């Protein structure tokens, strides 16, 4: 059985709090640093699935690390170091309770909303007569509120401002960053023969009062990619697009009667299916970065992660 990292319960010097997200475990070190451990948990429809995926945490952490470095000229980000394949350490920030989802194409949940007849997505008007996977005239921002448990909820810009979730001036800057990051991600994806379809960004305010890009960026958990080659031909024929994203996991769940709704049971995840998901995540890494993925083998992932974090905190 391949070793997977499902949960952590470390106690670090200066640790003030611990937060367990759907996929990441986050440690607050003296309101100065955030230690973020990318586990091998996998979630879909805002539900954590019962089995871990080998190397998934490493894939997510290392993709995010590369894209944080590649976009640091656009806006400041929280990353300081990545002392372990599954870990990023960054500056302490207070995270805004809104995820900035930006979409370039009518796909996924936006398509499902469109199919039901709605021509507004999070208050943003979209044209009539669009097809699934069609490109929007311009990217649209469709924010959601961050739920501690359960489903995130769509929200309009006017609603989030009225509720005071983000001050208006700060939201304008966050929108500017969101569009610019998406443009950079689109350009980087095109160089790898990919289309960045949609993604989400999270922002926070540092103790210095500045706004920072936080968490992950352009990973297969937070983003959707199409293969650029053949996109137009498949659209013209009404065929499904070749995707490089976590969407294949959602599609498998839906095909087996699960969409995260009350009373539904997560279908059994076999060893072969778990391995296939792992292989697909590694394919995602190599496709998105253009680099070969080096599996970080370890007899005891927990011990390795803990020791590497402790060594860094001594610096």
Does residue 304 sit within a domain?
Answer: no
Domain annotation covers residue 180: yes
Residue 22 domain-assigned (yes or no): no
243: closest CA among 259, 257, 230, 256? 230
User: Is residue 233, in this structure, part of any structural domain at all?
Assistant: yes
Q: What is the CATH number of the domain that holds 145?
A: 3.30.470.20
For 260-266, the CB contacts below 8 A with 24+ separation are 260/44, 260/45, 260/46, 260/47, 260/151, 266/47, 266/49, 266/50
Place of tokens 């103790």: 207
**Contact yes or no for 133/64 (Cβ under 8 A):** no
Residue 258 lies in a domain: no
In a domain, 33, yes or no: no
pLDDT at 137 over 90: yes
Residue with tokens 């005071």: 164
Q: Is residue 149 scored above 60 in pLDDT?
A: no
pLDDT for residue 2 is more than 70: no
Share of the chain above pLDDT 90, in %: 88
Q: In this predicted structure, what is the pLDDT of residue 1?
A: 44
Domain count, the chain: 1
Distance spanning both ends of the chain, measured CA to CA: 35
Residues spanned by the domain of 194: 95-237
- The pLDDT score that the predictor gives to residue 3 is 87
Question: For residue range 217-240, what is the model confidence (pLDDT) as tens digits?
Answer: 999 889 999 999 999 999 999 999
Question: Is residue 245 a part of any domain in this protein?
Answer: no
pLDDT tens for each residue of 178-195: 999 999 999 999 999 999
Q: Tell me: the pLDDT tens digits for 3-58?
A: 899 999 999 999 999 999 999 999 999 999 999 999 999 999 889 999 999 999 99
Q: Is 273 within a domain?
A: no
- pLDDT of 103 over the 60 cut: yes
Report the pLDDT value the prediction gives residue 173, as an integer from 0 to 100: 98
Is residue 127 classed as helix, strand or coil in its secondary structure?
Answer: coil
Work out the mean pLDDT of the chain and round it to a whole number. 94
3-state percent breakdown (helix, strand, coil) of the chain, nearest 5: 30, 25, 40
Question: Minimal CA–CA distance to 90: which of 100, 76, 70?
Answer: 76
- Residue range 62-100, pLDDT digits in tens: 999 999 999 999 999 999 999 999 999 999 999 999 999
DSSP H or E segment with residue 19: strand 15-20
Cβ(197)–Cβ(103) under 8 Å? yes
Say how far apart CA 50 and CA 53 lie, in whole Å. Answer: 10
Tell me if 23 sits within 8 A of 44, measured CB to CB.
no
Nearest to 139, CA basis, from 172, 194, 180, 109: 180
For residue 29, list its beta bridge partners: 15, 33
CA proximity to 86, closest of 300, 296, 237 = 296
Q: pLDDT band at 147, cuts 50/70/90?
A: low
Residue 152 has pLDDT above 90, yes or no: no
What mean pLDDT is predicted for residues 110-118?
93
């Amino acid at each position: 059985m391949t070793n997977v990292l499902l949960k952590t319960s470390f106690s670090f010097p200066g640790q003030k709090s611990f937060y367990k997200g759907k996929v990441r475990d986050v440690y607050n070190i003296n309101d100065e640093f955030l230690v973020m451990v990318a586990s091998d948990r996998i979630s879909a429809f805002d539900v954590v699935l019962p089995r871990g995926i080998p190397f998934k945490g490493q894939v997510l952490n290392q993709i995010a690390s590369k894209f944080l470095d590649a976009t640091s000229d656009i806006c400041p980000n929280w990353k300081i170091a990545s002392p372990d394949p599954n870990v990023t350490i960054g500056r302490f920030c207070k995270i805004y309770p809104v995820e900035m989802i930006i979409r370039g194409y009518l796909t996924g949940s936006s398509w499902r909303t469109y199919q039901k007849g709605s021509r507004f997505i999070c208050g943003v008007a979209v044209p009539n007569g669009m097809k699934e996977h069609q490109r929007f005239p311009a990217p649209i921002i469709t924010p959601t509120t961050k739920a501690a448990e359960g489903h995130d909820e769509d929200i309009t810009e006017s609603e989030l401002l009225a509720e005071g979730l983000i001050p208006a001036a700060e939201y304008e800057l966050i929108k500017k960053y969101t569009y610019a990051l998406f443009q950079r991600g689109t350009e980087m994806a095109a160089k790898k023969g990919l289309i960045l379809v949609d993604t989400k960004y999270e922002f926070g305010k540092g103790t210095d009062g500045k706004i920072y890009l936080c968490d992950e960026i352009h990973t297969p958990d937070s983003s959707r990619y199409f293969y650029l080659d053949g996109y137009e031909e498949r659209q013209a024929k009404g065929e499904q697009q070749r995707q490089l994203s976590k969407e294949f996991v959602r599609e498998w769940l839906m095909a087996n009667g699960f969409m995260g709704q009350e009373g539904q049971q997560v279908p059994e995840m076999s060893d072969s299916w778990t391995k296939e998901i792992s292989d697909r995540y590694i394919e995602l890494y190599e496709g998105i970065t253009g680099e070969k993925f080096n599996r970080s083998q370890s007899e005891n992932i927990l011990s390795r992660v803990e020791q590497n974090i402790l060594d860094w905190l001594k610096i």
